[in-house]
């Protein structure tokens, strides 16, 4: 089963990369961009058929290594079979 | 005194730290590879700078989970002294031994230059060898050195005297804070005052030949404190 972990910065944590992208978009004429934020995705291919257990195992991995909960939030999504 | 230096794939300031420590204490530190469980019986553990595990995932995140670090955590929980420099500081915040996080520099650029460090608080054990308001010129070299913590954590570390070093102007420049760190923080201690993390590199400022010897003073003060 494939699980997608989406990691984003917590609100209030400065995201200088996003500011740079926002400035670049503005200079290209995209004046209607109200905000930019960045994040990352980690896709785990788990040897697990049970959705609840897959979520539980992934959450444990997030808390242990994948995410720094001081500055980051995460969301776990079970991916479709053919993804 | 016994010093153990932990090295990871990608550490690159380990040799400088080992040379500096041997020079100041007359004894070569024990070098511990990250896969080893035996860190010896050190008075002080040093986690050097570099790019452990290529800075993959987050700086210091993978190193923080290595076997040697399990032993360092045990050492710290027993009240042992630890100093993390640059990437070593990043490793220590990732283990949770130190509060907050180190994020991308505000200016988005790798910063490599001299900074003036001010001793903000010498109330903690590992800082006890410093004079209040002592100031030292020590270089920084990092891309992710901006200290971040939420407001309540910042207040807590301020109230507890955990701010060890802050950046200050060398002359009268406005951009003396090289990375946008909250409260100009360059180094912090743990609540028990026996673990120190700092972004600047004292081991790169060990003699007049390389521009100054303030690093000798800084490391001597910490070595002195870790023997008492």
Instruction: Name the residue ranges covered by the structural domains of chain A.
Output: 2-78
Residue from A8, A16, A20 to probe the interface with B (highest B Cβ count within 10 Å): A16
How far separated are the first and last CA of chain B, in Å rounded?
A: 11
Please indicate whether, in this complex, the C-beta atoms of B103 and A13 are within 8 angstroms of each other. yes
pLDDT score at B168: 98
Q: Contacts of residue A14 in chain B, CB cutoff 8 Å? A: 103, 106, 146, 148, 180
Question: Which CATH class, in words, describes the domain spanning A2-78?
Answer: alpha beta
The structural domain count of chain B equals: 1
Backbone angles phi, psi at A42, to 5 degrees: -125, 125
Backbone angles phi, psi at B102, to 5 degrees: -115, 115
B38 lies within 8 A of chain A by CB: no
Three-state SS sequence of B26-62: CCCCEEEECCCCCCCCCCEEEECCECHHHHCCCCCCC
Please indicate whether, in this complex, the C-beta atoms of A65 and B57 are within 8 angstroms of each other. yes
CA dihedral B219, B90, B9, B38 (to 10 degrees): 70
Using alpha carbons only, what angle is made at residue A54 by residues A49 and A60, rounded to the nearest 5 degrees? Answer: 155
Is the pLDDT reported for residue B67 higher than 90?
yes
Backbone angles phi, psi at B141, to 5 degrees: -155, 95
Please indicate whether, in this complex, the C-beta atoms of A71 and B101 are within 8 angstroms of each other. yes
Please indicate whether, in this complex, the C-beta atoms of A70 and B104 are within 8 angstroms of each other. no
Could you tell me which chain A residue has the CA closest to the CA of B181?
A14
SS3 state at A69: coil
Mean pLDDT, chain B, as a whole number? 97
pLDDT digits (tens, 9 = 90+) for B182-201: 999 999 999 999 999 999 99
Q: Across residues A31-35, what is the average pLDDT?
A: 93
| ipTM computed for the complex | 0.86
B107 lies within 8 A of chain A by CB: yes
For the domain that residue B31 is a member of, what is the CATH number? 3.40.50.880
Q: Which residues of B are catalytic?
A: 86, 201, 203
Q: Across residues A11-36, what is the average pLDDT?
A: 93
Rounded to a whole number, what is the distance in Å from the CA of A13 to chain B's nearest CA? 8
A35 lies within 8 A of chain B by CB: no
Using alpha carbons only, what angle is made at residue B110 by residues B182 and A28, rounded to the nearest 5 degrees? Answer: 95
Q: Across residues A47-56, what is the average pLDDT?
A: 96
pTM for the structure as a whole: 0.94
User: Which range of residues forms the domain containing residue B139?
Assistant: 3-227
């Amino acid at each position: 089963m494939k699980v997608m972990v989406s990691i984003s910065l917590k609100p209030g944590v400065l995201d200088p990369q996003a500011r740079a992208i926002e400035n670049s978009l503005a200079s290209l004429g995209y004046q209607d961009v109200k905000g930019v934020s960045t994040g990352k995705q980690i896709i785990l291919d788990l040897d697990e058929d049970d959705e609840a257990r897959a979520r539980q195992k992934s959450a444990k991995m997030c808390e242990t290594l994948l995410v720094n909960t001081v500055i980051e939030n995460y969301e776990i999504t079970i991916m479709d079979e053919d993804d | 005194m016994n010093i153990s230096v932990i090295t990871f794939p990608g550490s690159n300031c380990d040799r400088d730290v080992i040379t500096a420590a041997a020079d100041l204490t007359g004894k070569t530190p024990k070098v511990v590879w990250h896969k080893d469980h035996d860190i010896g019986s050190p008075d002080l553990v040093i986690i050097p700078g570099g790019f452990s595990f290529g800075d993959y995932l987050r700086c210091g995140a993978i190193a923080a989970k290595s076997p040697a670090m399990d032993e360092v955590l045990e050492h710290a929980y027993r009240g042992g002294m630890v100093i993390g420099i640059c990437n070593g500081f990043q490793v220590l915040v990732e283990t949770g031994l130190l509060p907050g996080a180190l994020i991308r520099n505000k200016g988005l650029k790798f910063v490599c230059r001299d900074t003036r460090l001010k001793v903000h608080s010498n109330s903690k054990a590992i800082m006890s060898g410093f004079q209040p308001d002592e100031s030292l010129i020590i270089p920084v070299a990092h891309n992710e050195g901006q200290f971040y913590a939420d407001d309540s954590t910042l207040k807590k570390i301020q109230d507890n005297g955990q701010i060890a070093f802050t950046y200050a102007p060398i002359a009268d420049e406005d951009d003396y804070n090289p990375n946008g760190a909250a409260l100009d923080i360059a180094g912090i201690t743990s609540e028990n005052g026996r673990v120190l993390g700092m972004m600047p590199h004292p081991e790169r400022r060990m003699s007049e030949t390389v521009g100054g010897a303030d690093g000798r003073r800084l490391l001597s003060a910490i070595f002195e404190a870790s023997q008492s």
